[in-house]
Amino acid sequence: MSGGAQPLPGTGALAVATRRLRRHPAALAGLALLALVLLPVLAAPLLSLPDPALTDPARRMLPPLAIGHLLGTDHLGRDLLARLLWGARTSIAVGALATLTAAAVGSVLGLAAAWGGRRLDGLLMRGVDVLMAFPYLLLALAIVAALGPGLANAMLAIAVANVPFFARAVRGTVLDIRHCDYIAAARLAGHGEPRIVLREVLPNLAPTLLLLMTTTLGWMVLETAGLSFLGLGAQPPAADLGSMLGEGREFLTTYPLVAVLPGLLILLLVVSINLLGDGLRDVLDPRWSPRRSFSAPAPADARLQSQLEGGASLLAVQDLGVRFAGAAGPVPAVAGVSFRLNAGECVAVVGESGCGKTLTALSLLGLLPEGASQVGSVRLAGRELMALDGAALRDLRGRRIAYVPQEPLTALDPLFRVGVQMDETLRAHGAGPAYTAAELIRMVGLDGVPGLMRRYPHEFSGGQRQRVAIALALAHGPDLLIADEATTALDVTVQREILALLRRLCDEQARALLFVSHDLALVAELCERVLVMYAGRIVEDAPAAALLHRPAHPYSAALLGATPELGRPDKPLAVLAGEPPAPGERVDGCRFAPRCPRAQRECRAVEPALDALGEHRLVRCLFPIQEAS
């Protein structure tokens, strides 16, 4: 976050857009291609070209590079280059005009429908639906048939046929924007509707509209060509690219150049406009940032020997690191993470967001986001996971390691009944599942919910959904459950029930649980041991009770001091100034030192190791908080 947080130099919107455009290769390619085509087309009146309509039967079908005719002549002896350039002018002008008309009318309709209440919306959109019910080339043909052939009528027909497209797209976008809190905020500021539409809605609509227009422009050039090809657009002797294509068709076998050249020009125009359109959308969106080219993930260092070999731990993680490919070499997001997890043990990973908790959890599953690579050793029951290929890892996921998501509504497929999803999960992995559906349902306490298997995910409450998600995770009897903020989205009363369920599963079935959370109080109730992470590193590894009553690392103490406690409303909340360093940000010595109230000069010189403090505790600090007594 803070990497992109520098305010952009230069304030003009245009200056910003130009600078961003320069970093968008696809848009640049489109722009270059379009300039290549447009330059001669726009300059056509300035070039000393022969009259495009002047026929000369004596000099017909001359090959390219003939004297006076750079691209040769057509079947009537007209100069091909002149016809091509003037024809392209017509095609582009008609396409652009039709696009603007359709966009303007469509936007007004869409905006009115989205903003004007349910009645107006119904009225306008049913009208649009009627227009959309016709295949739209047919609609255009009908309009031209009614008005008579000619370029102006063709333009009008194409514009009308495209109005529904714009109206629907604009309506959808505006409906989304309308429900954003910043619209409510503008109302709270006392602004009237016109100003809200102008200031808050239109700027957010503009990128969508612009993208629609550019993609449509290419499309409209094609449609104009289509109508002209059918003889309904440009009337001889005037020509556009489509009518040239139509005329050239007769000579396709004897003299293909007459048809190929306009076809090629149409292709170039459409491709370049679409490329540019895609790029412009990105450039106009302030949230977009140029994507760095990710190098291929470095092969995992599978041969790294585990120094903790021979232990009976279920999970042994050794020197785990996660790196993102960056512009200036790999950026470490997680580094040197080592811990062990025994069967039946609940261990929590806590820390602020951006400290690498989720990345650590995901890397155990081999599910890192794109562009990330991992190093180190992850052993599950003695088997090195980092050496496994994709298929072997997939087989392991769900069977030995399972994942409980934060928000099961997004993890369950909304279109399928829970029974179907459960069946599918049970049938995965070839070998039979560890439990039947009925057993699973009983295990997570959902027995007694009528018609459970026939319900869709949205028909459950949040707590029931999370139970379903846990049941799915348990289907194959995994040894290790990873729960990433699995109760954060739930109400406190429901949260308590889910915690009790997770705890019971660990105790009764000897499963291990890795519980990622930012809530220390929650962790205190569920877990035996807590790993505190800061800036991608474990800074303290301690039994939960010891950590919560006598934190040794200043960061653990700071997290505790900042947590409000029920029954202690006057407890002063210790504020931890600043934010964690971004991955890859250079921090000399201890990465917590810049925010640490206890930091000494030594702390900034060398990064401390994760050392034992007492019997059951590891701390990465030169001056850990010692027990008071």
Partner 1 sequence: MSEPLLALEAVSKTYGGGYRLWPFGHRAGFTAVAGVDLVIESGAAVGLVGESGSGKTTLARIAAGLLPASAGGLRWCGRALMQLSRAERAEYRRGVQYIFQNPMTALNPHRRVGAALDDTLQGLTRMDRARRRARIEEIGAQTGVGAALLGRFPHQLSGGQAQRVAIARALLGAPRLVILDEPVSALDVSLQAQILNLLADLRARHGLAYLFISHDLAVMERLCEQIHVMQAGRIVESGPRDVLLRRPEAPYTRRLLAAVPRIG
Query: Is residue 302 within 8 Å of 125, Cβ to Cβ?
Result: no
> What is the smallest separation between the CB atom of 517 and partner 1, expressed in angstroms?
10
> Between 357 and 397, whose beta carbon lies closer to partner 1?
357
Look at residues 226, 234, 240 and name the one whose alpha carbon lies nearest to residue 91: 240
Q: Which of 92, 475, 558, 619 binds partner 1 (CB under 8 A)?
A: 558
Pairing state of beta strands 618-619 and 537-543? antiparallel
> Between 188 and 431, whose beta carbon lies closer to partner 1?
188
- φ, ψ of residue 331 in degrees (nearest 5): -105, 115
> Between 161 and 530, whose beta carbon lies closer to partner 1?
530
First to last CA, the chain: 42
β-sheet bridge partners, residue 482: 403, 514
> What is the smallest separation between the CB atom of 285 and partner 1, expressed in angstroms?
8
Stretch that binds partner 1, among 96-104, 371-379, 438-446, 552-560 (CB under 8 A): 552-560
Look at residues 215, 213, 275 and name the one whose alpha carbon lies nearest to residue 26: 275
Q: Is 504 in the site for partner 1 (CB under 8 A)?
A: no
C-alpha 291/C-alpha 97 separation (Å) is 34
> Would you state the structure tokens that stand for residue 239, as one six-digit string?
């020509």
> Between 163 and 546, whose beta carbon lies closer to partner 1?
546
Q: Which of 75, 191, 429, 455 binds partner 1 (CB under 8 A)?
A: 191
C-alpha 177/C-alpha 172 separation (Å) is 9
Q: Is 189 in the site for partner 1 (CB under 8 A)?
A: yes
Give the number of residues written for the chain.
629
Q: Which of 65, 296, 328, 566 binds partner 1 (CB under 8 A)?
A: 566
> Would you state the structure tokens that stand for residue 54, as one six-digit string?
């002047």
> Between 362 and 499, whose beta carbon lies closer to partner 1?
499
Pairing state of beta strands 372-380 and 383-384? antiparallel
Q: Is 559 in the site for partner 1 (CB under 8 A)?
A: yes
> What is the smallest separation between the CB atom of 498 and partner 1, expressed in angstroms?
11
Cα-based angle 21, 25, 26 (whole degrees, multiple of 5): 100
Q: Is 628 in the site for partner 1 (CB under 8 A)?
A: no
> What is the smallest separation between the CB atom of 569 and partner 1, expressed in angstroms?
4
Look at residues 511, 505, 508, 512 and name the one whose alpha carbon lies nearest to residue 529: 512
Q: DSSP letter at 387?
A: G
> What is the smallest separation between the CB atom of 228 and partner 1, expressed in angstroms?
40
> Would you state the structure tokens that stand for residue 502, as one six-digit string?
């997770």
Q: Which of 126, 458, 567, 629 binds partner 1 (CB under 8 A)?
A: 567
> Between 78 and 281, whose beta carbon lies closer to partner 1?
281
Stretch that binds partner 1, among 105-113, 150-158, 193-201, 598-606 (CB under 8 A): 193-201
Q: Please give the size of the binding site for partner 1, defined by CB under 8 A.
A: 62
Look at residues 94, 82, 90, 76 and name the one whose alpha carbon lies nearest to residue 261: 82
Stretch that binds partner 1, among 86-94, 190-198, 328-336, 599-607 (CB under 8 A): 190-198
Helices (H) and strands (E) in the chain, counts: 21, 12
Q: Which of 1, 39, 328, 391 binds partner 1 (CB under 8 A)?
A: 1
Binding marks (x or -) toward partner 1, 152..181, rule CB under 8 A? ----------------------------xx
Q: Is 522 in the site for partner 1 (CB under 8 A)?
A: yes
C-alpha 433/C-alpha 83 separation (Å) is 72
Please list the alpha-helical segments (H only) found in 510-543: 520-526
Q: How far is CA 30 from CA 26, 84, 172, 537, 568, in A?
A: 6, 21, 28, 44, 63
> Between 566 and 628, whose beta carbon lies closer to partner 1?
566
Q: Which of 185, 298, 302, 392 binds partner 1 (CB under 8 A)?
A: 185
> Would you state the structure tokens that stand for residue 589, as one six-digit string?
């010595």
Q: Which of 326, 344, 371, 462 binds partner 1 (CB under 8 A)?
A: 462
Q: Is 199 in the site for partner 1 (CB under 8 A)?
A: yes
Q: Which of 65, 188, 391, 415 binds partner 1 (CB under 8 A)?
A: 188
Look at residues 379, 303, 397 and name the one whose alpha carbon lies nearest to residue 340: 379
Q: Which of 187, 292, 383, 454 binds partner 1 (CB under 8 A)?
A: 187
* Contact partners, residue 280, CB within 8 Å, separation at least 6: 21, 27, 207, 210, 211, 214
Find out whether the peptide bond into 581 is cis, omega within 30 degrees of 0. Answer: no
Q: Is 120 in the site for partner 1 (CB under 8 A)?
A: no
**Dihedral angle, C-alpha 507, 511, 512, 517, nearest 10 °:** -70
C-alpha 150/C-alpha 144 separation (Å) is 8
> What is the smallest separation between the CB atom of 156 and partner 1, expressed in angstroms?
34
C-alpha 212/C-alpha 226 separation (Å) is 20
> Between 121 and 285, whose beta carbon lies closer to partner 1?
285
> Between 4 and 148, whose beta carbon lies closer to partner 1?
4
Q: Which of 117, 203, 382, 477 binds partner 1 (CB under 8 A)?
A: 203
> What is the smallest separation between the CB atom of 220 and partner 1, expressed in angstroms?
27
Q: Is 182 in the site for partner 1 (CB under 8 A)?
A: yes
Q: Is 287 in the site for partner 1 (CB under 8 A)?
A: yes
Sign of the torsion formed by the C-alpha atoms of 192, 195, 198 and 203: negative
Q: Which of 12, 448, 569, 629 binds partner 1 (CB under 8 A)?
A: 569
C-alpha 596/C-alpha 553 separation (Å) is 10
> What is the smallest separation between the CB atom of 289 and partner 1, expressed in angstroms?
9
C-alpha 357/C-alpha 440 separation (Å) is 29
> What is the smallest separation between the CB atom of 591 and partner 1, expressed in angstroms?
15
**Using only C-alpha atoms, what is the Rg of the chain?**
33
Q: Which of residues 331-370 bind partner 1 (CB under 8 A)?
A: 352-353
Binding marks (x or -) toward partner 1, 243..282, rule CB under 8 A? ----------------------------------------
> What is the smallest separation between the CB atom of 410 and partner 1, expressed in angstroms?
16
Q: Which of residues 4-23 bind partner 1 (CB under 8 A)?
A: 4-7, 11
C-alpha 629/C-alpha 624 separation (Å) is 15
Q: Is 629 in the site for partner 1 (CB under 8 A)?
A: no
Stretch that binds partner 1, among 3-11, 92-100, 228-236, 583-591 (CB under 8 A): 3-11
**Could you write out the DSSP letters of every residue in 327-363?**
TTEEEEEEEEEEEEE-TT-EEEEE--TTSSHHHHHHH
Residues lying near partner 1 in the complex (CB under 8 A) are found at 1-2, 4-7, 11, 180-182, 184-191, 195, 199-200, 203-204, 285-287, 352-353, 462, 491-496, 499, 518-522, 524-525, 545, 548-549, 558-567, 569, 573-576, 579
